[in-house]
């Protein structure tokens, strides 16, 4: 056979192989890279150490799970309409999931339902929403937190006396649960009388003024329980300015640097702390899993703890109080 005829099939085979390889190469090159999932995080407020810690926990989780985040929050926790508008903006941005710390138990339910209708999973953190459409709630048991505050008060002020409650927003879910837990606990002691209950609307100066008014009306007051971070600092400010820190026992919530300093100065006797870093971290973790269609737990209790001068320097408590210091 002619040598030329023998070479032609070989050349044809090589050509087919080259075309095939070239085609595969082009296909690999044009395959788009997988886009990162994007989450929206809508918090109760832009302000306060508590929310800064929640945000940091969320950011750590975002880095670990390789997702992007956008944060939104009203300037004031009392701005429910503002937060609803922010949720609407988050929904319109088309995220893979939303993490929400709701400012109102009932008012945020409709916008959460709207997100669910569009196939956007919503994970609620810190405060619940009155809807079955949220995939998960992550946060502390606020009723038990109120009970714990009551136990600390009895431990420090005794089983008889006059107390006042400085809360934050009437009708708000976390407020109601903390108040009920506190009142149920102290109801076990009939000689403890709640002589006043006021609402500071997450306004530090208002909390201080309300505390000043209470002390002028009830100079024999034995203790005050403040039910959130802003109220706590306002109450402590007023008691310190009136030079009553040796007389009035103060139980607070959360663990800002100011509160811890006031505890060391003897103005605050105990504080009930949550775990805001874990709340933020687990909120994003569950949102990522929900965005992938995975089943997430309907509730995650992140725990509470009572901190006083006697245990604030324990190593385990230091991790809770200062989660970013190694």
Q: pLDDT class for 13, splitting at 50, 70, 90?
A: very low
Lowest mean pLDDT among 5-19, 145-159, 211-225, 274-288: 5-19
pLDDT in tens, 247-291: 999 999 998 889 999 999 999 999 999 999 999 999 999 999 999
> What pLDDT is stored for residue 170 in this prediction?
86
Highest mean pLDDT among 23-32, 180-189, 195-204: 180-189
Share of residues in the chain with pLDDT > 90 (%): 79
Q: 51-83 burial by CB neighbour count: b if 16+ within 10 A, else e? A: bbbbbbbbbbbbeebebebebbbbebbbbbeeb
pLDDT at 15 over 80: no
> What pLDDT is stored for residue 324 in this prediction?
60
> What pLDDT is stored for residue 34 in this prediction?
67
Q: 110-123 burial by CB neighbour count: b if 16+ within 10 A, else e? A: ebbbebbeeebbbb
pLDDT at 11 over 60: no
In the block, which residue shows the tokens 């600092």?
233
pTM of the model: 0.85
Structure tokens belonging to residue 22? 């070239």
Q: Within the chain, where are the H helices? A: 3-30, 49-65, 80-92, 109-117, 142-157, 173-186, 204-217, 229-241, 257-264, 276-291, 315-321
233 vs 78 pLDDT, higher one: 233
pLDDT in tens, 42-71: 999 988 889 999 999 999 999 999 999 999
Angle, helices 109-117/80-92, rounded to nearest 10 degrees: 10
Question: What is 94-133 written as a DSSP string?
Answer: --SEEEE--S-TTTTHHHHHHHHHTT--EEEESS--S-S-
Structure tokens belonging to residue 137? 């709630």
Structure tokens belonging to residue 202? 């997450």
Q: What is the DSSP letter of 29?
A: H
Q: What is the mean pLDDT of residues 208-228?
A: 97
> What pLDDT is stored for residue 33 in this prediction?
56
70 forms beta bridges with 40
C-alpha 138/C-alpha 305 separation (Å) is 16
pLDDT at 25 over 70: no
- The CA distances from residue 151 to 48, 145, 200, 314, in Å, are 26, 10, 23, 21
Q: pLDDT class for 31, splitting at 50, 70, 90?
A: very low
pLDDT in tens, 97-152: 999 999 999 999 999 999 999 999 999 999 999 999 999 999 999 999 999 999 99
Highest mean pLDDT among 23-27, 34-38, 52-56, 169-173: 52-56
């Amino acid at each position: 056979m002619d040598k030329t005829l023998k070479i032609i099939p070989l050349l044809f085979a090589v050509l087919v192989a080259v075309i095939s390889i070239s085609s595969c190469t082009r296909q690999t090159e044009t395959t788009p890279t997988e886009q990162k999932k994007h989450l929206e995080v809508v918090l109760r407020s832009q302000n306060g150490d508590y929310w800064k810690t929640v945000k940091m926990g969320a950011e750590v989780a975002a880095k670990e799970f390789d997702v992007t985040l956008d944060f939104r929050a009203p300037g004031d926790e009392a701005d429910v309409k503002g937060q609803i508008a922010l949720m609407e903006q988050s929904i319109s941005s088309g995220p893979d999931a939303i993490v929400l710390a709701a400012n109102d138990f009932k008012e945020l339910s409709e916008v959460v339902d709207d997100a669910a209708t569009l196939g956007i999973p919503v994970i609620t953190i810190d405060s619940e929403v009155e809807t079955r459409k949220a995939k998960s709630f992550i946060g502390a048991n606020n009723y038990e937190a109120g009970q714990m505050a009551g136990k600390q008060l009895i431990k420090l002020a005794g089983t008889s006396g006059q107390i006042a409650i400085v809360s934050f927003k009437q009708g708000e879910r976390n407020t109601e649960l903390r108040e009920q837990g506190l009142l149920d606990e102290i109801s076990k002691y009939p000689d403890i009388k709640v002589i006043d209950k006021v609402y500071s609307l997450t306004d530090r100066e208002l909390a201080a003024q309300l505390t000043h008014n209470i002390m002028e009306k009830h100079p024999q007051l034995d203790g005050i329980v403040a039910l959130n971070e802003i109220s706590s600092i306002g109450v402590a400010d007023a008691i310190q300015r009136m030079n009553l820190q040796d007389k009035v026992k103060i139980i607070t919530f959360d663990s800002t640097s100011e509160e811890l300093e006031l505890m060391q100065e003897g103005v605050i006797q105990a504080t009930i702390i949550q775990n805001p870093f874990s709340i933020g971290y687990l909120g994003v973790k569950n949102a990522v899993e929900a965005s992938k269609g995975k089943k997430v737990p309907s509730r995650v209790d992140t725990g509470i703890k009572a901190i006083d001068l006697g245990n604030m320097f324990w190593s385990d408590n230091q991790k809770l109080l200062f989660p970013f210091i190694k």
